[in-house]
């Protein structure tokens, strides 16, 4: 066995050696060092080492040394990533969290076995195929609930107000969508929220736009906040749909000839001539930045929010023999005006990610940034990421408010479900209390006569054993209570209606979105 292990090391070392340029003594010396250290670990480490694990660690470290985005992907990780980009898996179709030790339905995915069976937000799985599901681990959930299309799983469900009951779910293909929400916010302004760029993203967005235009959309707010990117071709195709010219949409530069590409508008689509505003924040990256930067540079739309992440490196994902993959940066990409999107990472990974939150490029640093010019001569800024035309910081939440909003026990979600069940789960009741949401009575008390008041929430939390709420400063929470109450309302809406209503509700207290609404005239003037 030991001979086999050592042979594995030597073979891998030789492969690396021959992959490098021959004749470089430094390569030879470094590879000898690597082989020597691996042999030492194998011979004298206090416990029997896993050589394969050591090899994977060596490869991972090698790639991560190059830049923040080159990486090694294990076979298990590769399958998950492939699933995300392929946009489907086989299972029952729920979004869930493990709350109070049980799988808790956050939302059934539309047109899946879970929705067809009538599962609801707040339902808890107490048994799976007759076995207790209490204190189940996240990875075990995936193993037990996913499976081949046509196979079945029996779930014992606990639901507030009724006895436990069994549901037999027949597994099916479950779509992973890129468009999280698509609706008319008002009579003529459409809203589309996109969370990734995968194989079918362009088609999803295109279909959403067609649908919204049929309902009278004349302006579009495209929300790419917290969108970490994905497939570059999907972003280019989407940008192409909005540009009626032969302009450059994007170009890339690398060391090998294949990495140097220019992407032009093709005029393959009917030009969508409505004004567009793109929403971005510091978590908008890669493909999202291609869209935002292209919209700016070609004067096709304006960008509102915060300076984006600054990921402008193109990776080629190369599958390896054992099912793993090496993701290697081969090029940098540039917007039409010549802006390099990639932020500087020369000071190391810690500074790279720390600077993301500490920099205030939108206000304090513009004069020091390189200037570029749009097609119509407007000034835009380089230096990494896309700097918005209109800078708006979204929220100024207190620390205690953040602790409540992101509490791992999801207290707002649980409180919302209590409100729903204690009021007969009635849509009619809810509509009477929430007419303001539908534009019928905007001045109506948004807390439903005390149902979503701070005091009622605190009383509920203490009654249900969440005394940790008492450790949070009440004045601090009250300062942000309108925002928090709106989040609770959004959870109720998602349960009673759908995700569109969830996001529509959130937008009522969203400063960046409201700023986008206020600047639609500017977007129109730039377009014209």
Catalytic residue numbers, as ranges: 286, 297, 311
**Residue 430 banded pLDDT, cuts 50, 70, 90:** low
**Residue 187 banded pLDDT, cuts 50, 70, 90:** very high
pLDDT at 428 over 90: no
* Mean pLDDT, the chain, whole residue set: 86
Query: In the CATH hierarchy, which fold is given to the domain comprising 179-394?
Result: 2-enoyl-CoA Hydratase; Chain A, domain 1 (3.90.226)
* Cα angle 39, 41, 47; round to 5: 135
211-223 confidence digits (pLDDT tens): 999 999 999 999 9
pLDDT above 70 covers what percent of the chain? 87
Q: What is the pLDDT of residue 24?
A: 55
pLDDT at 377 over 70: yes
What is the Cα 376 distance to its own chain's centre?
Answer: 33
Sign of CA dihedral 381, 512, 457, 413: negative
**Short-list 68, 52, 66, 58, CA closest to 31:** 58
What is the residue-wise DSSP string for 452-481? T-HHHHHHHHHHTT-GGGGGS-HHHHHHTH
- Among 187-201, 293-307, 443-457, the minimum mean pLDDT is found in 443-457
Length of the chain: 528
C-alpha 376/C-alpha 134 separation (Å) is: 61
The answer to whether residues 190 and 217 touch, using CB atoms and an 8 Å cutoff, is: yes
Q: What is the pLDDT of residue 419?
A: 83
Q: Which CATH number describes the domain made up of 88-175?
A: 2.30.42.10
Residue 189, beta-bridge partner list = 219
Residue 353 half-sphere exposure toward CB, CA atoms < 13 A: 5
Q: Per-residue pLDDT averaged across 193-222, rounded?
A: 95
The answer to whether residues 434 and 428 touch, using CB atoms and an 8 Å cutoff, is: no
**Residue 358 banded pLDDT, cuts 50, 70, 90:** low
C-alpha 71/C-alpha 360 separation (Å) is: 29
State the pTM of this model. 0.87
Q: What is the pLDDT of residue 27?
A: 67
């Amino acid at each position: 066995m030991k001979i086999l292990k050592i042979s594995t090391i030597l073979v891998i070392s030789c492969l690396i050696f021959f992959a490098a340029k021959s004749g470089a003594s430094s390569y030879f010396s470094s590879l000898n060092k690597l082989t020597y250290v691996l042999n030492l670990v194998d011979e004298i480490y206090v416990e029997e080492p896993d050589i394969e694990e050591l090899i994977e660690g060596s490869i991972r470290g090698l790639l991560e040394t190059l830049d923040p985005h080159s990486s090694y992907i294990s076979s298990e990780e590769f399958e998950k990533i492939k699933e995300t980009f392929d946009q489907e898996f086989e299972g029952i179709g729920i979004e869930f969290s493990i709350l109070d030790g049980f799988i808790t339905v956050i939302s059934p995915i539309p047109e899946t076995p879970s929705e067809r069976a009538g599962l609801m937000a707040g339902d808890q799985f107490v048994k799976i195929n007759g076995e207790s599901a209490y204190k189940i681990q996240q990875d075990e959930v995936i193993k037990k609930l996913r499976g081949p299309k046509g196979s079945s799983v029996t779930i014992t469900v606990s639901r507030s107000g009724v006895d436990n009951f069994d549901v037999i779910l027949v597994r099916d293909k479950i779509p992973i969508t890129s468009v999280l929400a698509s609706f008319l916010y008002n009579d003529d302004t459409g809203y589309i929220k996109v969370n990734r760029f995968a194989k079918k993203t362009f088609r999803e967005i295109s279909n959403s736009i067609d649908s919204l235009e049929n309902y009278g959309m004349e302006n579009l707010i495209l929300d790419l906040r917290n969108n970490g990117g994905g497939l570059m071709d999907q972003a280019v195709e989407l940008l192409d749909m909005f540009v009626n010219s032969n302009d450059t949409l994007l170009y890339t530069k690398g060391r090998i000839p294949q990495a140097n590409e220019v992407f032009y508008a093709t005029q393959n689509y009917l030009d969508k001539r409505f004004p567009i505003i793109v929403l971005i924040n510091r978590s908008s990256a890669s493909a999202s930045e291609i869209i935002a930067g292209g919209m700016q540079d070609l004067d096709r739309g304006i960008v509102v929010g915060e300076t984006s992440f600054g990921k402008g490196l193109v990776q080629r994902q190369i599958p390896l023999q054992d099912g793993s993959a090496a993701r290697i940066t081969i090029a940098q990409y540039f917007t039409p005006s010549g802006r390099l999107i990639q932020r500087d990472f020369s000071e190391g990974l810690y500074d790279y990610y720390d600077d993301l939150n500490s920099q205030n490029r939108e206000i304090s640093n513009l004069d020091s940034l390189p200037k570029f010019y749009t097609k119509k001569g407007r000034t835009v800024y380089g230096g990494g990421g896309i700097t918005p035309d209109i800078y708006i910081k979204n929220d100024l939440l207190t620390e205690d408010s953040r602790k409540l909003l992101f509490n791992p026990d999801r207290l707002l979600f649980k409180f919302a479900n209590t409100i729903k069940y204690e009021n007969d789960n009635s849509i009619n009741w809810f509509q009477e209390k929430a007419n303001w949401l539908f534009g019928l009575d905007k001045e109506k008390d948004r807390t439903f006569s005390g149902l979503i008041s701070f005091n009622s929430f605190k009383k509920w939390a203490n009654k249900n054993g969440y005394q940790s709420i008492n450790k949070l400063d009440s004045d601090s929470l009250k300062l942000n209570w309108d925002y928090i109450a709106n989040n609770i309302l959004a959870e109720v809406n998602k349960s009673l209606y759908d995700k569109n209503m969830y996001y529509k509700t959130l937008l009522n207290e969203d400063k960046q979105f409201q700023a986008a609404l206020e600047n639609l005239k500017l977007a129109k003037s730039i377009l014209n």
